[in-house]
Structure 1
Amino acid sequence: MKKKLIKIFLVLIGTPALLFVVFVMSIYAGLFGKIPTKDDLKAFQLENASIIYSADGKQLSKIYALNRTDIAFEEMPEHLKNALIATEDVRFYDHEGFDYRSVARVIVKSIFLGDQSSGGGSTISQQLAKNMFGREQFQFGSIAFNKVKEIILAKRIEEIYSKDEILALYLNTVPFGENLYGIESAAQRFFNTTTKDLTIVQSATLIGLLKANSYYNPRLHPDRSKTRRNVVLAQMAKYDYISQEEKTDNQALPIELDYYDIKSRGIANYYAEVVRKLAEEKIAEYNGIHQTEISLQKDGLKIYTTLQYEVQKSQYDAMKEHLSKMHALLQKQYAKGYYAKELDKLAKNFAHQQSISHSKDTIKRTEFQTWEGPKVMDASILDSIKYELTQLHAAMMTMDVTTGAILAYQGGINQQIHPYDQVMAKRQLASSFKPMVYLAALEEGYSPCDYLDNDSIQLADFEEWNPQNYDLQTGGKYSLAAALAFSKNIPTVNLFFEVGYPQLKSIWQKLGFQSELPDEPSTALGAASASVYELARAYATFGNGGYSVQPYFIDSIISTNGQLIYAHQKVKARKLLNVEAVKLLNIILQKAVKEGTGAALAGTYGVRIPLAGKTGTSQDFADAWFTAYNPKAITVARVGATLPKIHFSSGANGSASRLALPLVGLSYNKLQKESTTKKMVSKSFPEITEDQLSLFDCDDFKEDSQFEEFLDIFGDKEETLDERLERSEKRKKRKTFFNKLFGN
């Protein structure tokens, strides 16, 4: 009987044991799927995010499939490693991948004593195996299969890697939630720092996350995070990594984050998106030539760009400061009376066009993006549409006028919420276009002191088109220089009639604009559309003296092992414009900044950097432009709502000098205070020669002579375009005669 009981006992014990051995051997043999070999482990490469850097070495953005940045073991502080070991695997340096004592402890405490705080028993090496290769799911036994697989892999990992290498691999692969992988990405996100600069408290907080990275997220659940952090600190004290006094002092500290999500809070996200697309193209070219498979998302490339961080930051701050105020003013305008009714119509029409139902509109908590950051308000669907329609969008771009390097690039309010890049958006140029009319005239031999008629114009065959000056004044004559500096519309149209469309179209094409230039009178006043990017490239040609310039974003792309993937090649400049004509234009546009429509740059914002520039305000104040440049850099700013029908009611808030110019003023005022940043955007124009000065020796304005007033009595007040062009041609031919007869 005794032998029979022993036999039964052996069968009961031996059968499961035998089945377990068979199960383990079948996994080892690969019957449930291939287990990575030692060679596979040796060849294992972490997927790393590629990083975009500014010209001065600041991190701008990451490009990744997994948000991970690999760092060396030596960059990991001792207290971080100690926190990990004390919490996750205190016998890490004693076992060889699988800790039998730990497993036994878990079984006894969890199963027999009911203590759920004893942990899972997996060593750091086992957890690393899971991080490296993930887990597979089966209909039955997934947990058992994966645990056995991880034990096998952990043993292999220990045979190949040193303990320090295992720690480094683990900390570079472990997930921290929020799509973060590895300690470096977590340190950057939660504390806006690098791993090597983490404090003991910060390290304990991050290691505490590993138990359940959503449940203990310090941003979402600070109380839970603190409790878990204090457990980590207690473990560190228990195993003598810190003193009891250090434990007590650190446990008393609150959870203090410097949360920084570069995707939402980055100051160069629109720029980074342009860089990403360009980098994809360059890498594809490289792979095609060299038969490689380099991945921008996985291979940890370093992309060095042209962007100057401080210039970018000055624009970011300027937009935040100025546009938050202007947005509030625009919303106030549309909150009552006529404008409130118009907004309601536009919002309902927009909802209809986008098939958005608002018939059963309910109020709910909604997050809106503002220039000051996210803002949560109670709003209906229609309220949300109204808010977005009255949002001011803006773009700024600064470029070196000689090299074409993009120094700063602001594409809008928030790249994640509003991905449309305003730098590339085409809007009516308004008076920003005028310098091209005057340049065409200067190239034809016109002088800054040639006078342009300011008499009223009305074209019968263009719906009685009747251009007006901003001040509504007519009569007399403006010198060519004054007409541009003070942005007079009527003299500009008259000059356009004299110069002619073909000459202007030639200038337009030379400067690289892509859209067709309309052949109509309103073109003289900026009816053509272009982007901030195109206008910056055009004005850069003025700044560099008349030569071509090709904007570029990326200086170089380097692989993790230092291999050069791409390097920018300088493009030889071509002469595009008459050099002497450009010099005269630059003098006129300096006058525009000192005395004309750009005078607020110095008067209000205290900018002392030498600049030429031009304002531009489109019809009904739909868009406001300001362009400022010198022989070093060009900056263009544009502001406007999504729809041209949404705009300020008057120039008091909607003019270029009120809406767009302040962005440049605030930015340059900040940059000029430091010599390092000032030299990035400042360079004096060539000194004006005596000969050039003599060309400007005239009054800005003069009244019509009696003879000219007599001729005007018999002129048609209303005429067709052909009649007007014919009359302008006659005036052009007799200009020399009248100049001799009456003088300039």
Structure 2
Amino acid sequence: MIERIKKSPKLKWTIGIGAGLLALIFLFYGSIYFGLFGTIPSSKELSELKQNEATQILASNGELIGKYYIFDRQPINFDQLPEHLINALVATEDARFFEHGGIDSRSLFRVFFKSILLQDKSSGGGSTLTLQLAKNLYGRKNYGYFGIVVNKLQESIIAQRLEDIYTKNEILLLYLNTVPFSDNTFGIESASMKFFDKHTRELSLEEAAVLVGMLKASHYFNPRIFPERSRLRRDVVLVQMEKYGYLTEEKMQQAKQKDLVLDYHFYSHDQGLAPYFREQLRKDVTSILDTLKNKNGETFNIYRDGLIIHTSLDYKMQEYAEEAVQEHLNTLQQAHEKSYGKNAPWEKNKEVILDAVKRTAVYKKLNNQGLSDDEILKRLDEENREMELFNYKKIEVRNASSLDSIKHYLKFLNAGFLAVEPSTGAVKAWVGGVNYEYFKYDHVSQSKRQVGSTFKPIVYTAALESGIEPCSYFSVGEVTYEDGWTPSNSGSFGDDPYMNYNLKTALSQSINTIAVKVLMETGISNVISQAQKMGIETQLPKVPSIALGTAELSLKELAKAYTSYVNGGKPSTPYYIHKIEDGEGNLLAAFKPEVAKTPAFSEVNREIMIDMMKATVNEGTAQRLRSTYGLKNDIVGKTGTTQSNKDGWFVGILPKLVTVTWVGSDDHRIGFRNTGIGQGANSALPVFAHFMQRLNADNTFDDITATSFKTPSAEVLEIMDCESKTRDGFFKRLFSNPDKKERAEEDKSKQKKGLFKRLFGKKDKN
């Protein structure tokens, strides 16, 4: 043979070329194997696989609220995989999975001859589940012309190592925990929760077939976008299961007859349940994790370490709160726009519009180019393009300019809603705005607004604590205070300046002139001190107008103050994180309620204030809870409206729940056009009403909705046993001039006289 080769130059060259090519192939393979094209993970590294895992946010009963992730991945154990899911996967993606060692030579041979030589596109692929796992774990890189070959060889090396390290069941589990599904979802558990709102172990045969079916092309077979394609692909999976003996013909046909039904849940940052809450939680947890170390001495990462955050949020209550905000704000927005008509400030007020423009990135860019404000406004108004614009019923898609878009969002009212368990401060519902995707500003955690008459109960509490009796009477007559400020009343109160009301009526009817007089007699410093005892941390201005709520407070501060009325006088700080665990359930951090140790006021005065605020609901400014919305619950509360109808408030209280609602425009210059629309009883109270209607219809909340306040003690009933109003006598009316407003100095002398009378057991009738 050697002699023959020597005598045949052609054969000699052929063998030489073949040997050279073989050597090149071995060198090429060796260069890949030894990492010339990038390091291939060793067997040790593969045996210690740890993928990025999504951090889960759980509601108080363990329901999944949302996740923080780079890739939405939520690993599970093998015993959580239903048998029909495994069968569907193997039958569809790798029928010989349990027979090969990571590389299916028979399939590769078939693909080579049918697909490449015979151009038969129906021959199928040669990639095994183990090869796909290798690709899922490490992805593919761009190596230029030989990229596909390099990547395939790298994956084959990794696949063989995986087969040496792991059992077939472990490979299946790794695959299902890492494989990408539609909508940027990674892993079977995350996909199951997203598309069917159930755990993997609960998947039906048809649902498992849908998820396996989308693996062929996750976007093309996305059941949310292309339901008919997905259903047809599901049927292919079922046919494959029957073909390989995993299903009988009868069961396959029965499964194919069933409709494709999704229960889709977003877990993105912008959508899904409680997005404002989740964003604030993210900030808080990130700060907490910065103080903790894992077993390797590294800080935890909220996006990749698969943590579990247990929160106080009630899943259903949160749903009801969001629905209530949407229901009312949709209606209120229409009335708001209609009230302004063609003279809307978001269309006509150039100062308001320009200020909104100045907050945009495009303004800063054009301003840096030297364009004037007028030139920028003109430029933004000229360029039209198709864009999505928020609306309550559906997202509008239309041609609009950038200036059109800015004006569009200026017109929207916004809202904040917070529900707190008063005994602990546990937050049960948190709505920071009308739509997080379009309005990122959180009105629970970021906003402080004038609180209007919701501050009056604090004033009256301070008055009771200072010794003023609930049956003390104050005139509705107007008084001028420092800087010429003269508070007045809305409605009919004040029409008769000779009328005097007790504290209960004055509070329930929210009479402004009396609230300021009560504050002045109590003393501004005493009122501020009382507010601080009740949990108000914001520095309050030492001016008479704080009686009418000119101070700017957050929803959380106001909620904390009001918890004291149903928690034995002790304010509880709103909190929402119970504990943080790692993915294995090990406790990383735990948090306890923060409740004041001493009451902010006496038990007698607490009972008095409950009775006074109950009158607000039964006969005062919040009585539409009864007349319009038909609520029969035992409720106390307080409405609030600020100057020029800028802010609407309502605080609604049940024995086991405190809620605070705010409604208004983000731009302080855009108030409600009139009091009829903008008063707290119309702008904010209905959110609470719709929320309560939903709670009442759900008997799981009976322990909240069916509870009642305790009957006031005999002492309190005696203290409050008096007429609601009196009128000045004939001689006082004869020698007084109702058209001449008193100055505050004169009013102070009356206050001293009233205090003197009370010291001797008499009630002030002035």
Give the TM-score taking structure 2 as reference length.
0.90
Find the counterpart in structure 2 of residue 509 from structure 1.
532
2:319 maps to which residue? 313
Query: CA shift at 1:292, angstroms?
Result: 4.8
**Alpha-carbon contact 2:478-2:742 (below 8 Å) kept:** no
> How far 1:626 moved relative to its partner?
0.7
Distance in 2 separating the partners of 1:101 and 1:377: 55
Measured after TM superposition, the shift of residue 526 of structure 1 is 0.6
Shift of 1:118: 3.4
Structure 1 CA distance for aligned equivalents of residues 397 and 259 of structure 2: 26
Question: Of 420, 435, 445, which residue of structure 2 is paired with 1:399?
Answer: 420
Q: Confirm or deny: 8 A CA contact 2:487 2:513 kept in the other structure.
A: no
Contact 1:398–1:406 (CA under 8 A) maintained in structure 2: yes
Instruction: Say which of 427, 442, 454 aligns to 2:464.
Output: 442
Partner of 1:703: 727
Pairwise CA RMSD of aligned residues?
2.9
**Counterparts in 2 of 1:29-48, with a 5 A limit?**
29-48=34-53
Question: 2:156 maps to what in 1?
Answer: 151
Contact 1:369 1:413 in 2 (8 A): no
- 1:691-731 Cα offsets, whole Å, 9 max, x none, are 21122222222112234335533995364x5x356445544
SS in 2 for 1:36: coil
Judged with a 3 Å threshold, the aligned counterparts in structure 2 of structure 1 residues 569 and 254 are, in CA distance, closer, same or farther, namely closer
Query: CA offsets, 1:185-240, max 9 Å, x none?
Result: 22222333332333444333332322332333333344544454444344334333
Comparing 625-634 and 187-196, the one that deviates more: 187-196
Distance 2:30 2:763 in 1: 111
The answer for the alignment partner of 1:184 in structure 2 is: 189
Determine the structure 1 residue equivalent to 2:107.
102
- Name 1:419's counterpart in structure 2: 440
Alignment of 1:328-407 (within 5 A): 328-337=334-343, 342=348, 346-347=352-353, 350-351=356-357, 354=360, 355=363, 357=377, 359=379, 360-361=381-382, 364-372=385-393, 374-407=395-428
Alpha carbons 1:494, 1:728 under 8 Å: kept: no
Q: What residue is the counterpart of 2:63 in the other structure?
A: 58
Q: Is the 8 A contact 1:48 1:297 kept in 2?
A: yes
Report matched runs for 1:102-121 at 5 Å: 102-121=107-126
State the alpha-carbon separation in 1 of the partners of residues 63 and 317 from structure 2. 12
Structure 1 residue aligned with 2:652: 628
The answer to whether the Cα contact below 8 Å between 1:348 and 1:382 also exists between their aligned partners in 2 is: no
Aligned partners of 2:656 and 2:229: how far apart in 1? 54
Match of 1:281 in 2: 287
CA distance in 2, matches of 1:714, 1:430: 27
How many angstroms does 1:83 deviate by?
Answer: 2.6
Matches within 5 A, 1:424-503: 424=445, 425-459=447-481, 462-463=483-484, 465-471=486-492, 473-474=494-495, 475=497, 476-503=499-526
SS in 2 for 1:672: helix
Specify the code of the residue in structure 2 equivalent to 1:71. Answer: I
Residue of structure 1 in register with 2:143 after alignment: 138
CA distance in 2, matches of 1:637, 1:127: 52
Whole-angstrom distance in 1 between the partners of 2:347 and 2:432:
31
Q: Which residue of 2 aligns with 1:519?
A: 542
> Could you tell me how far apart the structure 2 residues matched to 1:60 and 1:311 are?
12
1:582 matched to 2:606? The reply is yes
Q: Are residues 1:558 and 2:581 paired?
A: yes
Question: Which residue is 1:73 aligned to?
Answer: 78
The CA distance in 2 between the partners of 1:349 and 1:275, in whole Å, is 31
Residue equivalent to 2:305: 299
Given residue 519 of structure 1, which amino acid in structure 2 is its aligned partner? Answer: K
Distance in 1 (alpha carbons) for counterparts of 2:416 and 2:562: 16
Code of the residue aligned with 1:72 in structure 2: it is N
Kindly indicate whether residue 28 of structure 2 is the aligned counterpart of residue 23 of structure 1.
yes
Give 1:441's aligned amino acid: A
Could you report, residue by residue, the CA deviation over 1:10-43 in whole angstroms, capped at 9, with x for unpaired residues?
2333322221112222322333333212211111
Summarize the Cα distance change of 1:247–1:109 in structure 2 as closer, same or farther, 3 Å threshold.
farther
Distance (Å, rounded) in 2 between the aligned partners of 1:353 and 1:368 = 18
8 Å contact kept, 2:414–2:665: yes
Give unmatched runs, 5+ long, in structure 2.
364-375
Secondary structure of the 2:313 match is: coil
Structure-2 change in CA distance of 1:714 and 1:537 (3 Å)? closer
- Where 1:452 maps in the other structure, the secondary structure is strand
| Change beyond 3 A, Cα 1:497–1:571 | closer
Amino acid at match of 1:458: T
In structure 2, relative to structure 1, the CA distance for the partners of 1:14 and 1:177 (3 Å cut) is farther
Query: Does structure 1 retain, via aligned residues, the 8 Å contact 2:474–2:765?
Result: no
Structure 1, unmatched stretches of 5+, are none
Matched, 1:546 2:569: yes
Match 2:629 to one of 571, 593, 605: 605
Deviations 1:548-575 (A, max 9, x none): 3122211122222221112223446321
In the alignment of these two chains, the number of paired residues is 741
Q: Which residue of 1 aligns with 2:596?
A: 573
Alignment check: 8 A CA contact 1:75 1:196 kept: yes
Give, as a single letter, the amino acid of the residue that structure 2 aligns with 1:300.
Answer: G
Please report how far the alpha carbon of residue 469 of structure 1 lies from its aligned counterpart in structure 2 after TM superposition: 3.3
CA deviation after TM superposition for structure 1 residue 688, in Å: 1.2
1:694 maps to what in 2?
718
Between the aligned partners of 2:764 and 2:536, the Cα distance in structure 1 is 41
Shift of 1:734: 5.4
Q: CA deviation at 1:338?
A: 6.4
Report the alpha carbon displacement of residue 67 of structure 1 after superposing the two structures with TM.
0.7
SS in 2 for 1:533: helix
| TM-score of the aligned structures, taking structure 1 as reference length | 0.92
CA 413–340 in structure 1, closer or farther in 2 if over 3 Å, else same: closer
The corresponding residue for 2:368 is: none
